[in-house]
């Protein structure tokens, strides 16, 4: 999920949407996963952004 979001938004975009240190300061997938395992509110935000991104991608692909 984190890797897909980084691929779509980039670390900077992800850090703008969900302002946590693990996305903004020396970001990596492993540090982000460690943080998200321990922080339920941040995990919920990431899951919500992931679902919103999937919905947007589906809308875009069905319009083509």
Say which CATH number the domain at 16 has: 1.10.720.30
Residue 4 is predicted with a pLDDT of: 95
Q: What is the pTM of this model?
A: 0.87
Give how far Cα 37 sits from Cα of 5, 15, 32, 41, 56, Å: 17, 17, 9, 10, 26
Taking the C-alpha atoms of residue 36 and residue 42, their distance in angstroms, rounded to an integer, is 6
Instruction: List pLDDT tens digits, range 2-60.
Output: 999 999 999 999 999 999 999 999 999 999 999 999 999 999 999 999 999 999 989 88
Q: What is the pLDDT of residue 64?
A: 60
By residue range, what is the domain housing residue 39? 2-63
Domain count, the chain: 1
Choice between 50 and 61, residue whose per-residue pLDDT is larger = 50
């Amino acid at each position: 999920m984190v890797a897909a979001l980084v691929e779509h938004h980039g670390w900077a975009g992800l850090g703008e949407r969900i302002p946590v240190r693990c996305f903004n300061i020396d970001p990596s997938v492993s540090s982000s996963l460690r943080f998200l395992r321990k922080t339920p509110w941040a995990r919920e935000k990431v899951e919500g952004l992931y679902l919103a991104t999937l919905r947007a991608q589906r809308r875009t692909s069905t319009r083509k």
